[in-house]
Amino acid sequence: MAEEKGSIFLDWLKAAALGIILFFLVNTFLFSSYEVEGKSMEPTLEDGDRLVVNKIGYQISDMNRFDVIVFHGGNEDYVKRVIGLPGDQIRYENDQLFINGKKYDEPYLNQYKNPLIGQKLTGDFVLSDLTGVEIVPENRLFVMGDNRLESLDSRHFGFVSIKDVVGKVEVRYWPLEKFNTKF
């Protein structure tokens, strides 16, 4: 009977160890959980929202304009929206985004656009005025927060290196009433 209890305990111990190893591997290489801090991505994401970030093979070829990503910036991780990909020319004029001369809608900004206030949400700029270059360099991204008046982003700190991208935000799982997979 004692051998049987020892065998059951050993089986449980092995299962627990395997579970811990699998959790570590999934969290390190496949998916991570992040908490949003601050107001820079409002109204899309709010302070305290919890996110699942896909880290599986998210490379430059997988990146799409307007993806919401997490990236390393100094001692912190940031959540921002990809606006410019390598080779893109970017300009804002009268709160309208133009990439490579083509006008793009940004429906995620509609809540903050208020013509009665008369203040521009993003402000006019041409990429070369901000960075000294006319196009987004190779292996770099131009990112911005959705709350343009409150966001510290590529307009301030420059381009984000592809190697600093942790992954793409796939799911907001907290708060539960805001569970979402569309950003």
Beta bridge partners of 50: 35, 174
Using pLDDT thresholds of 50, 70 and 90, give the confidence band for residue 87: very high
Global confidence as pTM: 0.77
Known catalytic residues are 40, 80
Quote the tokens at residue 145: 């927060």
Q: What is the DSSP letter of 181?
A: S
Share of the chain above pLDDT 70, in %: 78
At residue 116, does pLDDT exceed 60?
Answer: no
Note the Cα 160 to chain centre separation in Å: 11
pLDDT at res. 91: 92
Domain ranges of the chain: 2-178
**Cis, bond preceding 115 (omega within 30 deg of 0):** no
The region of weakest confidence among 22-36, 82-96, 108-122 is 22-36
HSE, CB side, 13 Å, CA atoms: give it for residue 14.
Answer: 6
Dist. CA 7–CA 9, nearest whole Å: 5
Q: Could you confirm whether domain 2-178 is CATH 2.10.109.10? A: yes
- Cα–Cα distance, 167 to 159 (Å, whole number): 16
Tens-place pLDDT, residues 59-84: 555 778 999 999 988 888 899 999 99
Higher-confidence residue: 116 or 20? 20
Higher pLDDT, 154 or 56: 154
Paired tokens of 111: 């809540």
